[in-house]
Amino acid sequence: MKIVDCFPWFAPYGEELLYLRVNLLKEHVDKFIIVESNKTHAGKDVDRKFPEVARKLGLPIEKIIYVEHDIPETEDLEILEIDRRNAGVNANNKESLYARVRERLQKDAVMNALRDFDKRDVFIYGDADEIIDPKHIKWVAQQCHNHPNIIIKIPLVYLQGRADLRIHHRNDVPVIWKRAMFFATKEQLLHCKLSNIRCGNISIPIRFPTNQGIIQEDMGWHFAWMGSSQQRQTKADSFAHAFDSFKWHSEGGYADYKQFVDTTEPVEGNIAPDSNTDHILKRYPHSLLPDLIFDTPFVKDFLLPEVDINSTYAFNDCNCYWCQKLEWPLMYDLENNHEKLWFEVPRSCSVTIKESYPKRIQVMRGTRLYNTLIKENKKPIMIFTDPIDRFISLINVYLTPKQRYYDYGRDIFSSFDKDLTLLSKEEKIDLFFRNLNKITGGHQVHHFHPQCRFVDTENFDEFEVVKREDVNEFFDIDVAHNVTNKEITADDFSEEQIEFIKRAYASDYAFFKKYGVVKPNGKGKNKRKNG
């Protein structure tokens, strides 16, 4: 009995997954059949590059049967009933039907390479991003060989956007990818055709692997929508759903998805990259992923991208309890006389000011009072902290023991399998910068948002901008609450990290330049007007 792994391959999106799949399975299968077509499922022409890519990646060419496949021009495509079935609610969309035809032709092209195999040899089929855990291969292959009257399908962990983010329904139940990858004999493939087996359009019973009567799940990984937003856009333009509409989209159909993926990064707690509002991303442990990912830098960068220190970075949106409860920008009337208005900026003396004005009242946006204050050209106060100093305060409060958000810091580091308590200061800083994208609403990421986001610049023309170091004198108070113990200082940052912070908070520097800063005289009055 030979075991053969089969999958289609798409050059513009597939080098990393090609390398991972072949190298992960090469010691567990006898051959690979890899199909590369001259068109995408959406009908766009592509250059076939498999031979040169395989050589570049050092793949075991002797174990690979390469099928160079041609898809006919659109006018020569024949739409079958199976294509209408696969199109589902999009069956009335001619472009969607043609995409299903191209998909079917590419999948069935595997059968062009079956000639030299025996009828009971076993074939694994899945898309390139559907990879079985190799420890299951021999066992399932033997079951397939011994039970020719059933088709065995393989339930996979459904990961989207990043290899450490698994999708769940909103009711917290994991979404299982279980009706795509399958094991079948050559005899079964010839009888049913591969594309029919994959979509369940067969009379042969479908079964899932069981152990002592229990269906086995999480037998591999579906690495869906991985890579950069540009790579995900390439996939969205190319695959069989490129012309479809779904119930969670508006009239824009998959155009909605393309806009979604262009503006949304995969983040724990947020909607998955497929844009289905019932699909929420939750953490998937690194320890459950193949070690090969972590041993291969370019694969790891594709599946588990870190923050590029030379990029311009924007922190994740925040959906924490406070951001859902409060409506930023948040303005207070500190003395309840409309004379001292203040916009709260997290991590910029906000606790000190609130403790100093216990009778303050919140002025809600859109109310008559708020609109009156706008018409009266009031100048709300805003406490401005130098972005580098503010970032130093934040990194300390998350990474220094006994500080307010240290537990958040430990959780952030645990998401990439690091124990914060065991790291040196240099390791903490380096890993923190490289994994800023792991700070989510669950860690109150709004603390890291630029200060100007917490100020209503749409309705107010001027502000009394008070430097953080001048707060006590400006407000005539002699206390400081929630003071951070700073074990990490600017001297611990590299030049690249300092420049990264400056780019990330460019909007704050622009705000400060525009609105200036007031000078305290000990009585809370301005020495000059802002401009």
d(CA 200, CA 208) in angstroms, rounded, equals 13
| pLDDT tens-digit readout, 469-524 | 999 999 988 876 667 788 999 999 999 999 999 999 999 999 999 997 655 554 43
* CATH number of this structure's domain 3-156+175-209, picked from the four choices 3.40.50.300, 3.40.190.10, 3.90.550.10, 3.40.1390.10: 3.90.550.10
| pLDDT tens-digit readout, 358-380 | 999 999 999 999 999 999 999 99
The reported pLDDT for the residue numbered 234 is 84
Which ranges of 109-147 would DSSP assign to H, the alpha helix?
137-146
pLDDT above 70 for 18: yes
DSSP 8-class letter at 377: T
Does 477 or 138 have the greater pLDDT score? 138
Round to the nearest angstrom and report the end-to-end CA distance of the chain. Answer: 81
pLDDT above 90 for 257: no
The reported pLDDT for the residue numbered 523 is 41
The reported pLDDT for the residue numbered 275 is 82
Task: Give the sign of the dihedral formed by CA 352, CA 355, CA 359, CA 360.
Answer: positive
What confidence category does residue 248 fall into, taking pLDDT thresholds of 50, 70 and 90?
low
Please give the mean pLDDT across all residues of the chain.
Answer: 91
Write out the residue limits of the CATH 3.90.550.10 domain(s) in the chain: 3-156+175-209
**Alpha carbon of 344 to those of 187, 283, 512: distances in Å?**
70, 32, 16
Indicate the range of 44-48, 137-141, 414-418, 482-486 predicted with least confidence.
482-486
| pLDDT tens-digit readout, 62-108 | 999 999 999 999 999 999 999 999 988 888 889 999 999 999 999 99
d(CA 418, CA 210) in angstroms, rounded, equals 34
pLDDT above 80 for 247: no
* E-state strands within 38-103: 64-69
| pLDDT tens-digit readout, 403-425 | 999 999 999 999 999 999 999 99
Query: Shortest CA distance to 396 belongs to which of 440, 428, 430?
Result: 428
Query: Shortest CA distance to 174 belongs to which of 221, 113, 244, 105?
Result: 221
